[in-house]
Amino acid sequence: MESLTLSDVEQKYYSELFLSCDVDNTKKVASNGKVLDLFRAAQLSNEVVHQITELCGATRLGHFGRSQFYIALKLIALAQSGLALRVESLNSVRDLPLPRFVMGKNEQETRHAVMFADTENQGSYFPRHPGRVQAKKVSAHEMIQPCVPTVDPQPDTTSPVVSPHQSPPTSPHAWRKHKRQASGGNVDRQPSVPGVVWPPFREAQPGPVTGDGMWSAHSPPPVQESWVSFTDTPPSSTLPMHPPSAQVITTVRTVPSAMTTNEIQRQISGYDDPWKITDEQRQYYINQFKTIQADLTGLIPGSAAKEFFTKSKLPILELSHIWELSDFDKDGALTLDEFCAAFHLVVARKNGYDLPEKLPESLMPKLIDLDDSAGVPEPAPEVGFSASPVEVTPNKSPSMPSLNQNWSELNQSNEQWETFSERSSSSQTLTQFDSNIAPADPDTAIVHPVPIRMTPSKIHMQEMELKRTGSDHTHPTSPLMAKPPELSDETKLAATIKFPGTTVGDGYSSSDSFTSDQEPISSAVNRQRSHSGTSPEGLKVVAPPPPPPRPHASHSRSSSLDMNRNFAAVPAGPQQPGVVAFPPAVPPRPLPTQTSVPHGHRSVEGDGLPAHTSTSPHQMPEQPNFADFSQFQAFAVDQPADDGENASDKTTGTMKTAKNDVQSEERNATTVNSTKVSTPLAPPPKPVRRRLKSEDELRPDVEDLPQKSNIIATVLATQPSIPRSIGKDKKAIQASIRRNKETNTVLARLNNVIECDHQERISLEVQLEQLRPFSHL
Amino acid sequence: MAVCIAVIAKENYPLYIRSVPTQGELKFHYTVHTSLDVVEEKISGVGKALADQRELYLGLLYPTEDYKVYGYVTNSKVKFVIVVDSSNTSLRDNEIRSMFRKLHNSFTDVMCNPFYNPGDPIQSKAFDSIVSTMMVQAC
């Protein structure tokens, strides 16, 4: 870049100019827009301007850096002095006057103080305008920085750039106006940089005193006329807008239409909000509202509002946008507040202000408190169109129409539009929230109840088990455990359907009470179980069962059954009347059956199977083998161990008999189980429980799981919250329940098979016995 | 994130269609058009049952190699169609449902506007902004 030496004055001047152009504070200025305007304001021909731009290197760079800008300014000064534009002359020419920009640059030199004063006023005016538009501009173009946080600085920086007001006061207006109109209603879509920069430049108007005078002259009268004559020809101008906050300043002072001049009058008010409605305006709006809707607390139906606002001759698209902005509760009708906001926006639009993307704060309708909801229905019917909001609202949210209606009704009674409440936002969020939640809830509520409930009860049972426990006590808990799931299922279903959460908690607590109530019963069961338990344990010699998981599953099952029984007894007879009776009956049954069956067998088989005498004890040990049915063959092969235990097959010596013996013993066990299976069809878990009981006795290791599930149960029981909250555990529990169920079915089938085989075996043995004597022959 | 979102009127002409412009929009228009057949099929199938029992969300209409098309019908037979990229596997059904819900809500807001004549193309900025949030952000 060519070196440039500037005098102090020049330096200062240039920097001010640069600052005024550098709205973004990026230390470089786009080559279009503001700078171009500035250059044009220097009253140089376009060619010269181009030349200058080239010379300073901006064309090369594409933008004006500080140095380029300074060079350009110097060249402008050169040109204005009539000197040839040459780079060399940049430094050579001495005493070059500062470049003059028509827009009142002149003042620059003198002025600051004056400018300030002027610009202050101007600023108050201008910022308002731009402010208004700015609301929109800013959103659309971030570049438009709110240059000046305060009014003062702004004029300071902008003054150099100047306001067109000066010499051709109107021309800039017209200029701007044209530009504005060109962009039409689409200011929002202002294109690009030029558009963007343009406004800021324009807005830098505040400065010239003349402009000020002009403005002030215009201000009062138009104000009055403009927005008053709405119905005929929309107020062409003045909208007494209040000065925007400083930030707003940047936007375009879009002075768009002819009314521009009029509209500029903004009264200097201390308000920062460009969108604020003055009292006069509001009064006017209210009067207009009354012409449509006599009741100030009522609503204006959409159709009436449409007619009314169509008179403003704004394009339908813009009216549609205004409606979207102002109909805050989205009910298709306008309350007084909403109407004022819409009216205000229409007036603003007529005056050339761009519509904001969002409703400005000051225009937000103040909603009534919920307390007034009672009063709402009354005005609504009076309105006549009341049907519309009601009709509309149901469509609002597909899932919660009723809620929307309530909200809209509440919002409608806006008479206290002075009262500010957060309801609008809350209502919106509420409606959306509800619509989002409503569908979710029923689904989830319906889906989960049953399985979830199971878990806690099971866990609870196991917890009870733990409480009672000792290894022998696992059994008593198992019936208890068996109980809770069923009960909990029912309670849970009820809970989910009616009281999602509370009932569940109750269920838990009830289960607790139930279990406690059932203690004596369970202890009785314990006693019985212990009887059966001890003997097998004493006899237990065989290694534990092949499929460990299954026993777990069944274990939990049975325990759950027990719980169910306990619960059923307490809460309601109808629930599981049979169950109540069963559990107590069951324990004794296995023993006698166990003993009787083998006895029966023994009698049938004669002395062939002495082992049967010890069936009961043996049955227990057999039971593990029972589960291990698949390994039965292997088992039979491994006779020695089994034989030792059974002490039956040795005499026969045949695999078959041995097998039969083993089978018979197993069968016995299974028979017992199967009988149990057959009998308690009502409580299917019973047989499982039976099996589990014995299995539990035989398998201490199984207790680990119950204990663990007990712990989980206790945890769940202690949580009164909705089952849903348990989450992962439930899933795991549900999975285990599923597994248990599967195991159950498998074992039940196995039972049946075994029983059939047993029958066959018995018949075979009978035949054998009958034929035995003949064999010796 | 949808690649294309369309609102089709009861008479099966589009009220609003917007797609990520990077790819040929014509292709999306065509996809949406063909999906209308599937929508018709789905809603006519349940016709025998009570109409109000029909669920609004139709689910996946059909998958193509590159895209998946989801449908949603309102009770007034206005259809919403969302086309998403197949490579976007993380998009779950619930998310699609919520997208449709939002679309439906903003559509009703548009309907509430007295200046909107049903059957006109939708030019609401609010609706546009809602759709923008759901579209894949074009770079």
Domain boundaries, chain A: 8-89, 279-351
Higher pLDDT, A754 or A380: A754
Q: What is the mean pLDDT of residues A206-225?
A: 41
Of A28-37, A197-206, A245-254, highest mean pLDDT: A28-37
Angstrom distances, CA of residue A528 to CA of A238, A359, A606, A696: 99, 78, 29, 14
Rounded CA-CA distance A731/A712 in Å is 12
Answer yes or no: do A323 and B114 touch at CB < 8 A: yes
pLDDT of residue A425: 46
Beta carbon pairs, A and B, within 8 Å: 60
CB contact under 8 A, A320 and B115: yes
Residue numbers in B near A316 (CB within 8 A): 115
The pLDDT of residue A46 is 75
Domain A8-89 and domain A279-351 have a common topology: yes
Is pLDDT larger for residue A185 or for residue A699? A699
Q: Is A436 on the interface with B (CB under 8 A)?
A: yes
Positive or negative torsion for Cα A296, A301, A302, A305: negative
CATH class of A8-89: mainly alpha
Give dist(CA A87, CA A55) in Å, integer. Answer: 7
Report the gap between the CA of B32 and the closest CA in chain A (Å).
24
In tens, the pLDDT along A356-401 reads 877 777 777 665 544 444 444 444 344 334 444 444 444 444 444 4
Closest chain B residue to A435 measured between Cα atoms? B101
Q: What is the pLDDT of chain A when averaged over all its residues?
A: 56
**Tens-place pLDDT, residues B104-130:** 999 998 888 888 888 888 888 888 998
Q: Would you say residue A83 has pLDDT above 50?
A: yes
What per-residue confidence (pLDDT) applies to A418? 46
**HSE (side-chain half, CA atoms, 13 Å) at A459:** 26
Residues 6+ apart with CB under 8 A from A38: A17, A21, A101, A161, A201
Sign of CA dihedral A182, A186, A192, A195: positive
Q: How far is A333 from chain B (nearest CA, A)?
A: 8
A305 touches chain B (CB under 8 A): yes
Q: Is the dihedral of CA A218, A223, A228, A234 positive or negative?
A: positive
Question: Which pLDDT value is given to residue A196?
Answer: 39
Model pLDDT for residues B36-77, shown as the tens digit of each residue: 998 888 888 765 555 556 778 888 888 888 888 999 999 888
**The pLDDT of residue A26 is above 80:** no
CB contact under 8 A, B115 and A319: yes
Contact B113 A396 (CB under 8 A): no
Residue A756 — very low, low, confident or very high, per pLDDT cuts 50/70/90?
A: very high
Closest B-chain CA to A397: B105
- Residue A10 scores a pLDDT above 60: yes
pLDDT of amino acid A140: 39
pLDDT band at A655 (very low <50, low <70, confident <90, very high): very low
* pLDDT tops 50 at residue A448: yes
H/E element, B109: helix B93-112
Interface probe with B: pick from A320, A433, A441, most Cβ of B within 10 Å: A320
Residue of A nearest to B106 (CA): A396
Q: Which of A686, A663, A687, A531 is nearest to A595 (CA)?
A: A531
- DSSP calls for A46-112: HHHHHHHHHHHTHHHHSEEEHHHHHHHHHHHHHHHTT----THHHHH--SPPPP--TTTHHHHHHHH
**Is pLDDT above 60 for A559?**
no
The arithmetic mean of pLDDT across residues A744-765, rounded, is 92
Write a three-state SS string for B29-58: HHHHHHHHHHHHHHHHHHHHCCHHHCCCEE
Tell me which chain A residue has its CA closest to the CA of residue B126: A324
Whether the per-residue pLDDT at A6 is higher than 50: the answer is yes
What's the distance, CA A158 to chain centroid?
A: 47
pLDDT value at residue A743 = 94
CA distance A534 to A555: 18
Residues 223-282 of chain A with CB under 8 A from chain B are none
Q: Is A374 on the interface with B (CB under 8 A)?
A: no
Mean per-residue pLDDT for A581-603?
45
Which of A301, A357, A435 comes nearest B101 by C-beta? A435
pLDDT at A108: 44
- A117 has a pLDDT exceeding 60: no
Q: With beta carbons under 8 A apart, name residues in chain B contacting A394.
A: none
pLDDT tens column, A400-442: 444 444 444 444 444 444 444 444 444 444 444 444 444 444 4
> Are B105 and A396 in contact (CB < 8 Å)?
yes
pLDDT of residue A457: 54
> CA-to-CA distance for A350 and A347, rounded, in angstroms?
5
Nearest-by-CA chain A residue for B113: A332
Percent pLDDT > 70 in chain A is: 25
Q: Cβ contact (<8 Å) for B111 and A330?
A: no
A111 pLDDT more than 60: no
Comparing CB atoms, the residue among A324, A357, A432 nearest residue B113 is: A324
Q: Calculate mean pLDDT across residues A44-67.
A: 72
Q: Which two tokens stand for residue A31?
A: 């080559």
Residue A739: what pLDDT? Answer: 94
Mutate to test the interface with B, among A395, A404, A428, A431 (most CBs of B within 10 A): A395
- Whether residue B115 and residue A332 make contact (CB cut-off 8 A), yes or no, is no
Indicate the pLDDT class of residue A322, thresholds 50, 70 and 90: confident
B52 touches chain A (CB under 8 A): no
Neighbours of A747 (CB within 10 A): 28
Q: How far apart are CA A46 and CA A389, in angstroms?
A: 59
This prediction has a pTM of 0.34
Q: Which residue has the higher pLDDT, A650 or A544?
A: A544
Whether residues B113 and A432 touch (CB distance < 8 A) is answered with no
CATH fold of B2-134 = Beta-Lactamase (3.30.450)
pLDDT band for A504, please (50, 70, 90 cuts): very low
Section A266-280 average pLDDT: 62
**Over 70: is that where the pLDDT of A71 sits?**
yes
Of A316, A398, A436, the CB nearest to B56: A398
Q: Is the pLDDT of residue A141 over 70?
A: no
Bridge-based pairing of strands B67-73 and B57-63 is: antiparallel
Q: Are A108 and A160 in contact (CB under 8 A)?
A: yes
CATH superfamily of A279-351: EF-hand (1.10.238.10)
Q: How confident is the model at residue A93 (pLDDT cuts 50, 70, 90)?
A: low
Name the residue in chain B with its Cα closest to that of A303.
B114
pLDDT above 80: residue B135: yes
Q: Please give the pLDDT value at position A312.
A: 83
Contact A157, A147 (CB under 8 A): yes
Q: At residue A473, does pLDDT exceed 50?
A: no
